[in-house]
């Protein structure tokens, strides 16, 4: 299956009628729901219109002017892709092997 990424939430923070910050939430899914190969994870980020050096990250504009594609592009999906792949691998592809107890073990006599 291919990984599905869906923006499940986006909260704009406005100042003077323009968005100056977005809180974006994205859900990742892989596999078929209700099967052993299904895995899902949710990621969140806050994106400000300017960075710490006062460089523009995105153009401030009214919240109604934004498209889903523009909001999605704000998310650090390259980073999240790597994290999700690692999570999927450790939970689905190569889960940890847990030792099994031998409840019938008998102590040696000596």
Distance between CA 3 and CA 81 in Å, rounded?
A: 9
Residue ranges covered by each domain of the chain: 4-79+86-92
Residues 25 and 42 sit within 8 Å (Cβ to Cβ)? yes
Query: What gap in Å lies between CA 22 and CA 27, rounded to an integer?
Result: 16
CA 90 distance to own-chain centroid: 16
pLDDT digits (tens, 9 = 90+) for 48-81: 999 999 999 999 999 999 999 999 999 999 999 9
- Reported pTM: 0.82
Q: What are phi and psi of 29, to 5 degrees?
A: -140, 145
Q: What is the pLDDT of residue 1?
A: 61
């Amino acid at each position: 299956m291919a990984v599905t990424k869906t923006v499940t939430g986006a909260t704009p923070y406005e100042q003077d009628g323009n968005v100056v910050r977005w809180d974006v939430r994205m859900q990742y899914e892989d596999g078929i729901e209700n099967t052993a190969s299904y895995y899902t994870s949710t990621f969140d980020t806050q994106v400000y219109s300017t960075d710490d050096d006062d460089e523009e990250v995105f153009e401030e504009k009214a919240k109604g002017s934004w498209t889903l594609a523009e909001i999605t592009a704000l998310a650090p999906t390259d980073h999240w892709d790597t994290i999700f792949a690692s999570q999927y691998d450790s939970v689905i592809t190569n889960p940890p092997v847990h030792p099994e107890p031998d409840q019938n073990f008998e102590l040696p006599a000596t």
